[in-house]
Structure 1
Amino acid sequence: MDYSYTFLILLLPALSFLVLGLYGMKLSHKVAGLIGTTSLGLVTVLSYMTAFSYFFAPRLADGTFATIVPYNFTWLPLGNLHFDMGILLDPISVMMLIVISTVSLMVHIYSFGYMHGEKGFQRYYAFLSLFTMSMLGLVVATNIFQMYLFWELVGVSSYLLIGFYYPLKPAIAASKKAFIVTRFADLFFLIGILIFGYYTESFSFSFAGTIEMGAGTTPFIAGNTAKAVIAGTFILPTALVLMFIGGAGKSAMFPLHIWLPDAMEGPTPVSALIHAATMVVAGVFQIARMFPLWIEYAQPQLSIVVWVGVFTAFYAAAVACAQSDIKRVLAFSTISQIAFMMVALGVSLPGHEAMLDNHAQLGFMASMFHLFTHAMFKACLFLGAGCIIHAVHSNEMAMMGGLRKYMPITHITFLISCLAIAGIPFFSGFSSKDEIISACFAYSPVVGWIMTGIAAMTAFYMFRLYYGIFWGTENKVAHEHHTPHEAPLTMTIPLIILCVITVGVGVYTTIAGFAGWGGSFGSFVTASGQEYNIHFDVQIALTSTVIAILSICLATYIYKGESQPVADRLYKMFPRLHRAAYKRFYQDEIWQYVTHRIIFRCISKPVAWFDRHIVDGTFNFLAWGANEAGESIRPWQSGDVRQYAVWFLTGTVALTLILLACAL
């Protein structure tokens, strides 16, 4: 199959960014939006063409998918090392092309309605194109350096989009916070890349299978790892853990999560793009891409990924239970769900394959599967939240209530997405989350039960959010000047499309998983490249389903009615716990204390004093000394011939006397 057209997947959004960035202000809103949306529409068509031809192409002799590199060229040669740029197609990169292009296209269409009349509309679509191109370049990278290059472009794009409303101080603060926190984490990623490159003499990934490049096939493995083995077994594990810190920052893992809730200051469609298909899944994708190296050299260190993910998932779910801003509930929900994916990757140990029959590396498959399903229903939830905010002009649940009768389409799509993330059968979230929990139980019953409990918390806080928006007491005062109404078609059609995907995938995989007749999705594969057929553990599936239903019933009991006496009593019983959860357990305050009172005061100020007084003082002294020496000999160059004659004669006499003394 000829994949030479795939360069257009990166070129089209790049051209859209350049055109809109340079000439956007000369175009009308409609033309600018059409340029951005049309380019993404073409990218989506090309991505689906690539996925269809890739997953239905003949397999290799061992039944695995081929790893295809249509383009790869050396950009910067540096001795034994070289920086390459290219396009790599394998199961997870092709799956990510589908996820990114689909969600980004929905966001582009949705933004026609949501951003209508906004100042900077053309600039907004230019930044969307840059953001999409950056993430697409990241997932098709042929090497770690190219991944890092586009990784940083994703960070720049998020800074621009989060701070889109630049006249507002909260937006500017949020964009700077996101950029600084992720750049801090990216420093560790860069150090890990440099260590990896130095000891392996390569920036290439390690893959099972072969690469099709041109007419032939060649093995594609990491560089000379013997140097790393000689240097010590701690070298590559250290590099991989440092890279994981970079991924943890991008994917908002604790304690580097603090930027993501504040990123809600950007436009709501941007939140959908960041949370569903681009920035936060970059860390998960990085671990998945480097997974063969983790399995080969750093299996013990995967426990770090597991427990960071477990704690983050619980922390974020607990915070989400107390938030009143609907976008922040969804933000902490995203943090928790991304942590689910991290945990699934961490529990993917080959040593546990025997416990799973032929479910080799179940966790890896489950993580990638959940990445796909979560992207669809979380994008639907965020875009639905945008419709709600568009209708009531507020993010606070107190300003909502009873909206189901005003916004029927948003209500149904939001409900379906809530059922999906809660893990109810016949919705896509059930299939992927159940596989994660099965992998966790295979790894450790303790981890399995913890993740089951967190899944129950997910169902609870999502239906707390659902009832707070669409049921409960309608805020008549908030609605007396502006009656809520359904969003225009440009905003509701993306909701319907994402909802159909959520239901369609969920129905197929649920029936197939319980029936045991396959349910395979070519993109959801193990790290070894083998296709995986979904097959549920009935006991775990039933347990998680019952717990999810009980959690929904509990949320219904507490929050559905017009009055909420149970919630009020719980608040009075545990006011400090509620406030701590509402304040995110004071993580922002802790970071402020650490940075301002410890780092700035105890480290930065002494360093600044040393710089000003010692470093600058040394060079200032040298400059002063040179200046004084020049001033002291300045009279010697007076231009007076008589003075020169005196000095000449004096020197001659002195030299003569010295020579006579030496002769005697």
Structure 2
Amino acid sequence: MTSTPLTLAAAADASAAAVTPATGAAALSWLLIAVPAASAALLLLTGRASDRWGHWLAVAASVFSAVLGTVILLQVLGTDPDERVLSVHLWRWFAAGDLTVDLGLRLDPLSLTFVALVTVVGSLIHLYSVAYMAHDRDRRRFFAYLNLFVAAMLTLVLGDSYIALFIGWEGVGLASYLLIGFWNTADAEDDSAVRATSRENATAAKKAFIMNRVGDLGLLAAMMAMVSQVGSVAFDAVLPAAGDSAISTGWLTAMGFFLLLAACGKSAQFPLQAWLGDAMAGPTPVSALIHAATMVTAGVYLMVRSAPVLEGAPTAQTAVAVVGALTLVLGAVIGSAKDDMKKVLAASTMSQLGYMMLGAGLGPVGYAVAIFHLLTHGFFKAQLFLAAGSVMHAMGDQVDMRRFGALRTAMRVTWVTMGIGWLAILGVPPFSGFWSKDLIIEAAFVGQGLRPWILGTVALLGAGLTAFYMSRLFFMIFHGSPRWTTASDIEGEVHPHESGWLMTAPLIILSVFSVGLGGLLASGDAFVTWLEPVTGHVEHHEPVLAVPVIMGLTLALVVLGALSAWVMYARREVPVVVQPGNALVEATRHDLYQDAVNEALAMRPGQGLVVATTVSDRHVVDGAVEGLARATAGLGRLVRRTESGFVRSYAGYMLAGVVLALIAVLASRY
């Protein structure tokens, strides 16, 4: 499906769609957030008393939100498209001068799409985690953090203003920090390796937290600009003003770039993507939740929700597309050189988010397809991460793919379900990724001049690279010869086996979505039509290349990438020990030295400033203060000596004073 851009006025009409008070189940939408949040608080406050049953309480809370979210979704689906934007007023937060901030919820096709993704995928991850974390001593705390994560993400997508969005935005940042660094403690009797891993996990959590704070500055700056120009941060005030040209192009451009900075931090887009690979330090269900349904999707949501702002700022909108295109290639290249199974999937998420950001930067032609790919990706990426966790469970928590091979014989269910996720992310028909990612590629070829050729070619290249590195992962894990028997550095003996039903059942359920969701929602442009109350109606338009040609080129590159991986990693023997590569390979193994660049541009100048400030403080400020103190003390000692207590001394002081006074009088006369 490809389309021509909306006019700015049409985008404004979409943003200003009639908002009606919610009734029925929709009026209870606050429970979507309240129940998992209350469950998290209860688990944290009850302590060890809830260790035996706390995880099931967390599962029940998440399932409750999924059921209620489904009921609300069906209610909204049953209404007229013009009445699909509902509101729930909660309370007035504060009023300061002319600025009044009310907190409420906005139920529309965009927010409800995220509700379905977050609650359904989140519930399956909760169920999976019951078995995955069964022997962890802090399982109760883990589930409390999971529920906090779900509640924060639902706050982010359901809030009816940027300030409500920001509350959820910070909430997912906090929850990710707690979960990425979940295994950050070591007992006194633990060996040095365990203690080192704990420190690395804590460092990874801090890295994600700090890099996301950089993005937060962008969102705060955008809200300040909104208050300056509109006097409000409510969607119903800001977005229509942006669409009606009530805000100047200059201010809209500034807002657009500020929002892009926020999205780059949260959705791991260049140049703020370096934290995403390190975030694999957390338990695997955390990785699945972050990458599939919560934190990293928030930036894409922000871009599409702020569509009228981007429409009024073509420069910022182009920047969104460029950042997305650059990130999708960057993630794909990095994923091609990683041997850590989870870090390959992390790079994959970065790349797929790049596709979504590219779609969001294409204007109205890409908004709906960006969210479509976000939705399908959420299900098959959760499936891929949970399947990776099943492999880790069978292989003594190993993540190095060079030490796997031939696991298909021991893990049939995991092999089949991960294979379905693999085919979905490759975009092989009829799996869901084919329907969503191909739409972004087609949309990238819509336009005039060189832009569609450049962006479309990049999107095509990303499809081929995706096929290569994801096939490399799949073949190295499940095909070829078994390599765990020859890996001398694996601690202990491994016996590959299939995981229990609590871990395989979510994989099977996710497989259903990975197979059928894309085709179902693409039928008759059903999903694009569903989002029209938010994104507006878009007329169809042909890209610069015919759609069958684009589809043929995409599938050809996918087949070429998969066959290359088969020849290199399934037909040939994979070395257990990492082999040195050329300069490009070594660069990609080190994430193209992004950490070194960040340190050179941000960390080291900051450290230099701290050192300079310390020296200045020590030698200038402290010197002046200490010098004044010494002078005052010396003066005090001098004055103290004049206070001898002898009358003759005081008489001498008086005589000296009289003499000095007479001299002064005489000097003034002559």
TM-score normalised according to structure 1 size: 0.85
Structure 1 match to 2:299? 283
Q: Distance in 2 between matches of 1:642 and 1:85?
A: 79
The 10-residue stretch of structure 1 (609-618 or 154-163) with the greater mean CA deviation from structure 2: 609-618
* 3-state SS of 2:472 partner: helix
Instruction: Indicate conservation of the 8 Å contact 1:200/1:223, yes or no.
Output: no
Q: 2:79 aligns with which of 37, 57, 70?
A: 57
What is the alpha-carbon distance in structure 2 between the residues aligned to residue 532 and residue 407 of structure 1? Answer: 47
Aligned to 1:575: 582
1:73 Cα deviation after fit: 2.9
**Is the Cα–Cα contact under 8 Å of residues 188 and 242 in structure 1 kept in the other structure?**
yes
Q: Is the alpha carbon distance of 1:611 and 1:445 closer, same or farther for their aligned partners in structure 2, counting shifts above 3 Å?
A: same
SS of match in other structure, 1:301: helix
Amino acid at match of 1:89: L
- From the superposition, tell whether residues 650 and 505 of structure 1 become closer, same or farther in structure 2 (CA, over 3 Å): farther
Pick which of 536-545 and 497-506 moved more: 536-545
The one-letter code of the counterpart of 2:44 is G
1:338 and 2:343 are equivalent in the alignment: no
Q: 2:335 aligns with which of 320, 335, 349?
A: 320
Residues in 2 aligned to 1:337 and 1:295: alpha-carbon distance in whole angstroms: 23
Which residue is equivalent to 1:474? 482
Q: Does 1:146 align with 2:154?
A: no
SS in 1 for 2:88: strand
2:320 aligned partner: 305
By how many angstroms is 1:524 displaced?
Answer: 4.2
Structure 1 gaps of 5+ residues are 210-219, 349-360
| SS, match of residue 235 in structure 2 | coil
Q: Secondary structure at the match of 2:346?
A: helix
Match of 1:293 among 299, 302, 309: 309
* Deviation for aligned residue 1:526: 7.2
SS at match of 1:252: coil
1:541 pairs with 2:551: yes
- Aligned-pair CA distance for 1:378: 0.3
Distance 1:635 1:577, change over 3 A: same
Instruction: Give a deviation string over 1:22-61, Cα, whole Å, max 9, x none.
Output: 1132222x4010111111111111111111111221232x
Is this contact kept in 1: 2:404–2:484, CA < 8 A?
A: no
Question: Is the CA contact (8 Å cut-off) linking 1:200 and 1:224 kept in structure 2?
Answer: no
The equivalent of 2:43 in structure 1 is 20
Pick from 236, 245, 262: which aligns with 2:261?
245
**Cα distance change of structure 1 residues 633 and 544 upon mapping to structure 2, 3 Å threshold:** same
Counterpart check, 1:123 vs 2:141: yes
Kindly state the Cα deviation for residue 545 of structure 1 after the two structures are TM-superposed.
2.2
Contact 2:230–2:237 (Cα < 8 Å) also in 1:
no
2:406·2:481 contact (CA, 8 Å) conserved in 1?
Answer: yes
Q: Which of 235, 245, 251 lines up with 1:235 in the alignment?
A: 251
For 2:226 and 2:161, the matched residues in 1 are separated by 12
Give, in whole Å, the separation in 1 of the partners of 2:623 and 2:69: 60
1:202 alignment partner, SS class: coil
- Classify the secondary structure of the residue corresponding to 2:337: coil
The Cα shift of 1:326 comes to 0.5
1:137 and 2:166 are equivalent in the alignment? no
Map 1:155-166 to 2 at 5 A: 155-166=173-184
C-alpha distance 300-635 of structure 1, shift in aligned 2 (>3 A): same
Distance 1:135 1:534, change over 3 A: farther
Partners of 1:344 and 1:439 within 8 A in 2:
yes
Alpha-carbon spacing, 1:608–1:142, altered in 2? closer, same or farther (3 Å): farther
Match among 225, 235, 258 for residue 195 of structure 1: 225
Equivalent pairs: percent with the same residue? 33
SS in 2 for 1:84: strand
Q: Is the 8 A contact 2:124 2:506 kept in 1?
A: yes
CA offsets, 1:282-333, max 9 Å, x none? 111111111111112x122211111111111111101111110100000000
Equivalence for 1:424: 428
What is the CA distance between 1:408 and its match in structure 2?
Answer: 0.9
Find the counterpart in structure 2 of residue 355 from structure 1: none
Among candidates 601, 607, 619, match of residue 600 of structure 1: 607
Q: Compared with structure 1, are the counterparts of its residues 534 and 158 closer, same or farther at alpha carbon in structure 2 (3 Å cutoff)?
A: farther
Corresponding residue of 2:514: 502
Aligned length: 621
Task: State the TM-score, normalizing by the size of structure 2.
Answer: 0.84
Alpha-carbon offset, residue 556 of structure 1: 2.0
Q: What residue number does 1:369 align with?
A: 372
Partner SS state of residue 257, structure 2: helix
Which digits, 9 at most, give the CA deviation of each residue in 1:456-512, with x for residues without a partner? 1101111111000000110252699332111111111111111111112134356x3
Q: Say what the alpha-carbon RMSD is for the aligned residues.
A: 3.5
- The AA in structure 2 aligned to 1:590 is V
SS of alignment partner, residue 234 of structure 1: helix
Deviation at 1:237, TM superposition (A): 1.2
Specify which of 47, 51, 70 is matched with residue 48 of structure 1.
70
Partner-residue secondary structure (3-state), 2:81: coil
Aligned to 2:6: none
> Which runs of no fewer than 5 residues in structure 2 stay unpaired?
1-22, 186-197
- 2:92 matched residue in structure 1: 74
How far, CA to CA, are the matches of 2:255 and 2:513 in structure 1? 38
Q: CA contact under 8 A between 1:364 and 1:526: conserved in structure 2?
A: no
Residue 112 of structure 2 is matched in structure 1 by 94
Asked if the contact 1:99–1:372 (Cα under 8 Å) also holds between the matched residues in 2, the reply is yes
Match of 2:573 among 560, 563, 571: 563
| Alpha-carbon separation, structure 2, partners of 1:138 and 1:328 | 27
Superimposed CA distance per residue, residues 408-432 of structure 1 (whole angstroms, 9 cap, x where no aligned partner):
1111111111111101111111111
Of the structure 1 ranges 145-154 and 554-563, higher mean CA displacement relative to structure 2 is found in 554-563
- Structure 1 residue 597, shift from structure 2 partner: 4.1
